[in-house]
Structure 1
Amino acid sequence: MIRIVIALSLLVGALDFRYYRRRMRSRRRGVRVPFIVFAAATDLLPLIAGGLFGLLPDNSTATVAAAMWLFYVYLLTVLPRLAFYFFQHFGLARTGAAAAGLTAVLLVWGAVYARTSYAVNEVEVRSERLPEGFDGLRIVHFSDLHIGTLVHPEREMKRLVRTVDALRPDLVVFTGDLVNIRYTELDSAAMRILSQLRAPLGVVSNIGNHDTGVYVKDTLALPVEVNTDSLVARQRRMGWRLPDNETEYLVRGGDTITLSGISFDPAFRRERHDRNVGMNIGATYEGVSRTPYNITLSHLPQLWDRIRELGYGDLTLSGHVHAMQIKARIGKWRFSPARLFYKRWSGRYDEEGSTLYINDGIGYVGFPMRLGAYPEITVITLRR
C-alpha cells in the first residue's frame, strides 16, 4: 500500500507540474500561487502525515482513525485531478471538469452512503457429501468488522446485529479482523452489543491478521501474545466459540459435520497480501477424518488450495480482502484493484466439488469509503 501511495503521489505531482508549465505559468500571480500551494500540499499530504505518524511511539485507535481520514482527504483532492488531467490531455477540458466533479461526488457518496449500506447476499451451496440432517442449514457469514475504525461503532454494530438476527440463522460465523489494532477496541459496549448475536448452533469466530496485535508498535507495553489472548478471552465471554487451529463437531438431526478454524499466524504478516501464503495448517485437521462434510473458516482466502490439498474444506469461508473496498460489476464481469494482487478476491469460487466464499467485510481500513464493494452479510444455505 505504501508503494502504491508513493507512486500515486509522484504521478500526480508530475501531472501537476506538466499542467502548471502548459496552462498556469502565464497566469497572474494570484492564480499561480494558490495552485502551487494546493498542489504541493495535497501531493505531499500522505508522505508528511506518514512521517509524522511514524514518529509516534504507538498506533493508538485515534491515530489510525486520523490517518484514515487524512488519506481519504488526499484521495478526494487527487483523484478528481487525475480525471481532469486525463481528458484535458485530449483537449476535452470541459469533459475533464465534469469527470472531476463526478469523481468527487462518487468519493463523497462512498464515504457517506455506501460505507454503511449493507448488502445481504443469498448463496446456495449444494454437495452430495452433506448429510441429510444439515440439508437446509442457514449460515450467516460476516467478516472484517475492524471496530476501531468504525465512525459510529455502537450504531453500526447494533444495526449489524439486528440485520443478522432478522435472517434467522442456524449458525453465525465471523472470519476475522474483529478489531483493527488492539484488543481494547472490543470494549464493554461492543461486547454487550455483539453478544446479542444468537443461533441454534452458536456463533463461531476466526482470528485474522488485525486481531493478532502485529500492528501495535509498543509491543513492550502490549505484547502480541497478550493482545491475541485478551481478544480471544473477550470473545469467549460474549459466548462466541473460536476453534484456534483446531476442529470441532456440529451435530444436527442425528448427523455430524466438522467445523475447522485456521488462525492467522503473525509470523506471516509480510505475506498476508501475497497470492500464496506458506502457513502450515496441518495441525488444524490433526486426527480429523476426511469422511464428514467439512466447513473451514480461514481469514486468508489464499489458503484455500492448501486446505483442499489436505482433503478438507467442502466449504471454506474467508474475508481479509474487502475487494479493496472498490468494485465494479457489469453483468458477470467484475473488476477491483484486488484482482491485481489476489488470485481470488471476492464472492464465490467453485473447484473440484469444493466452494470458497470470500465475504467483502463490514468495516474499512485505509480509507473510510466503499465504492461498489458494499459491506456484506452473506446467507449461505447448504443443500444436498
Structure 2
Amino acid sequence: MAKRLPLILLLFIAADVYFYQAILTLSSNSMLHTAYWLLDVLLIAGFISLIFVRRTGGSAYRLIAVLMGAMLLNFIPKVFASPVLLAEDAVRLFRGFPPRSIYVSEATLALAGLLLIVIAFGLTRGRHFYRVRRETIYFPDLPEAFDGFTITQLSDVHSGSFTDAKGVQKGLDLVNAQNSDLLLFTGDLVNNMATEMEPWIAGFAGLKAAYGKYSVLGNHDYGDYIKWENNTAQQANLNRLKEVHAEMGFRLLLNEAVTINKQGQSISLIGVENWGKGGFHKYGDLKKASIHVPDNAFKILMSHDPSHWDAVTVDHHQHMHLTLSGHTHGMQFGIELFGFKWSPIRYVYKQWAGLYQQEGKYLYVNRGFGFLGLKGRIGIWPEIAVLTLKKSR
C-alpha cells in the first residue's frame, strides 16, 4: 500500500484538477472557484497538522476520523465522475477541441452529487447498516451429524468506536435471529482498552447459540497501540479483557482447541492468538493449538488475520478444513454490486472479504461488525456471516 501511495495521491490531484474543468464550464463565479481550492488547502493543512503536531488519545482519533470523512466526501466523487469528462475529451480530440458541453459538465456534477449522497449515507448510517451474508460450504469428510450445521461469525467489534446503543442492539438482534448452532468471534473486541467494552457486555452476553460461543484475540486486543505506564498495566488490561470475554459467555481460545460434539460425532474447533504478516505481532501458534487434535478430525480454525492462512495454515501438516478470519474490515470502503467487489485493501491483502479456497481448504474473511478510524462504512457494510456446513455426496 505504501508503495502505491504516490500513485494514489497523483490520481486524487489529477481528478481534482480535471473535475475543476466542469466547474469552470458551468460557472465563472470567482468566489466559487476560490472555495473549491480552499477546501483542498484546509484538508492538506489538516493532514500536515496530524503529522507534525503531537496529538494523542481521543483527539487524534477524532481528527483522523474527521479528515478521513472529509477526504472521501471531497475526492471520491471527483475521482469516479471525472471519467465522464475524459470520455468527452476523447470525442473533442477528433473534433478539434470545441468548447466543453454544458450538458456533459452537468452530467459530471450530477454523478458526483449521487456519489456524495452515497458517501454521506455511509458516514452517517453505514456504521449500523448490517448485512447478513450467507455461504454454504461442502466437504466430503464432514461428519454426518454436522450436515447442515450453521455457524454465525462475528469479527472486529471495535467497541471503543460505538456511540449508538440502539444501532449496536439492532445488529445483536439480527445475530440472534439467525438461530445458528455455533457463534464464533474472530477478534478485535476493543480498539485498545478493555474498559471500552464495559457498556456493551450485557448486550453481547444476550447472544445465543445452541452449541456455544467461542472467541479469539485480534491485534487491537493486546493494547499494543497506546502508551501504558508500564508492562504490568498493559498485561492487567489484557487480563481484564479475557475476563470480559467470559462475562459475555464466550470461551476464549488461546492457542488451544476444543471438541464440539453432536449425536456421537465431533468436530474440532481451534483458536489461535493473533498472527499477522508485516509489522503485526505473531502471538499465534497453530502447532501448539492443534497438537492434541487428531489428524483425521474435521477442523475449523479461528485466526484473526487472514495473512496467517497463506503464510502458515495452508501448508500446515494437518488439514484445516475451514479458517475464519476478519481484520481487514474491507477497509470500510469499496464497491460490492452484482458479484463484483473492490476495495483498496485488496492491494494489501490477497484475501480481504468473503470466501476463498485453496487445495481443498476454505477461508472466510469477515468484513467486520464494527468500525475503526473512519466513523462509518461506504459500500463495504458491517457483516454478520452465516456459514452452513454441508456434506458433499
Give the alignment's TM-score, normalised by structure 2: 0.83
Aligned residue number for residue 188 of structure 2: 177
SS at the partner of 1:207?
coil
Q: Given the alignment of the two structures, is residue 100 of structure 1 paired with residue 112 of structure 2, yes or no? A: yes
Q: Does 1:157 align with 2:157?
A: no
1:298 maps to what in 2? 303
CA contact (8 A) 2:336 2:380 kept: no
* C-alpha separation in 1, matches of 2:209 and 2:32: 63
Aligned residues of 2:321 and 2:362 also touching (Cα < 8 A): yes
Cα 1:254–1:238, aligned 2, differ >3 Å: closer, same or farther?
A: same
Q: Please say if residues 255 and 284 of structure 2, whose CA atoms lie closer than 8 Å, have aligned partners that are also in contact.
A: no
2:355 maps to 348
Change (3 A) 1:218 1:59: farther
Instruction: Give yes or no for the alignment of 1:225 onto 2:238.
Output: no
Distance 2:365 2:31 in 1: 52
> 1:380 deviation in Å?
1.4
Q: What is the identity, as a one-letter code, of the residue corresponding to 2:313?
A: I
Contact 2:275 2:303 in 1 (8 A): no
Mapped to 1, the partners of 2:7 and 2:193 lie a distance apart of 30
The 3 A distance-change label for structure 1 pair 23 and 93 is: closer
Equivalent positions of 1:170-319 (< 5 A) are 170-187=181-198, 189-218=199-228, 220=230, 223-265=233-275, 270-271=279-280, 280-305=285-310, 306-310=312-316, 311-319=318-326
Q: 1:196 Cα shift? A: 0.9
Shift of 1:279: 6.1
Which residue of 327, 330, 334 corresponds with 1:327?
A: 334
Give the superposition deviation at 1:326: 2.7
Aligned mates of 2:335, 2:30 — CA distance in 1: 42
Q: Which amino acid aligns with 2:122?
A: G
* Structure 1 residue corresponding to 2:125, chosen from 94, 113, 116: 113
Displacement, 1:93?
2.9
Query: C-alpha distance in 1, partners of 2:247/2:337?
Result: 44
Which secondary structure does the structure 2 equivalent of 1:289 belong to?
coil
Asked whether the 8 Å contact 2:16–2:79 carries over to 1, the reply is no
Separation in 1 of the partners of 2:17 and 2:64? Answer: 26
Coordinate RMSD, CA, aligned: 3.2
How far, CA to CA, are the matches of 1:330 and 1:118 in structure 2? 16
Q: Is the 8 A contact 2:156 2:326 kept in 1?
A: yes
Q: TM-score, with normalisation over the residues of structure 1?
A: 0.85
Q: Measure the CA separation in 2 of the matches of 1:35 and 1:123.
A: 46
Taking a change above 3 Å as real, the CA distance of residues 13 and 220 of structure 1, as seen in their structure-2 partners, is farther
Greater alpha carbon shift after TM alignment, 308-317 vs 78-87: 78-87
Structure 2 residue identity aligned to 1:231: L
Within 5 A, what are the aligned runs for 1:33-72? 33-52=34-53, 55-56=54-55, 58-60=56-58, 63-72=60-69
Equivalent in the alignment of 1:133: 145
**SS of aligned partner of 1:270:** coil
CA positional deviation for 1:237: 2.1
Change in CA separation of 1:302 and 1:202 when aligned onto 2, cut-off 3 Å: same
**Alpha-carbon deviation of 1:10?**
6.3
- Give the residue type in structure 2 aligned to 1:196: G
Letter of the structure 1 residue corresponding to residue 118 of structure 2: L
**2:96 matched to which residue of 1?**
none
Residue 381 of structure 2 corresponds to 374
Please state how far the C-alpha of 1:191 moved relative to its aligned partner: 0.7
TM-superposed deviation, 1:50: 4.3
How far apart are 1:259 and its partner, in Å? 0.6
**Structure 1 stretch displaced more, 164-173 or 110-119:** 110-119
Q: Distance in 2 between matches of 1:182 and 1:72?
A: 24
Residues in 2 aligned to 1:123 and 1:165: alpha-carbon distance in whole angstroms: 18
AA partner of residue 207 (structure 2) = L
Query: What is the alpha-carbon distance in structure 1 between the residues aligned to residue 352 and residue 74 of structure 2?
Result: 28
Q: Does the CA-based 8 Å contact 2:22-2:106 persist in structure 1?
A: no
Q: Give aligned pairs, total.
A: 372
Matches of 1:278 and 1:203 in 2, distance apart? 22
After TM superposition, where is structure 1 displaced by more than 6 Å over at least 4 residues in a row?
Answer: 1-7, 17-24
Range with bigger deviation, 346-355 or 12-21: 12-21
**2:186–2:216: 8 Å Cα contact kept in structure 1?**
yes
Consecutive unaligned residues of structure 2, counting only runs of 5 or more, are: 90-99
**Residues 146, 364 of structure 1: 8 Å contact kept:** yes
Residues 1:334 and 1:37: Cα distance change in structure 2 (over 3 Å): closer
Change (3 A) 1:129 1:32: closer
Shift of 1:31: 5.1
**TM-aligned CA deviation for residue 40 of structure 1:** 0.8
Compute the displacement of 1:297 (Å). 0.4
| In 1, Cα distance between equivalents of 2:23 and 2:123 | 32
Hey, what's the Cα distance between the residues in 1 that align with 2:187 and 2:243?
15
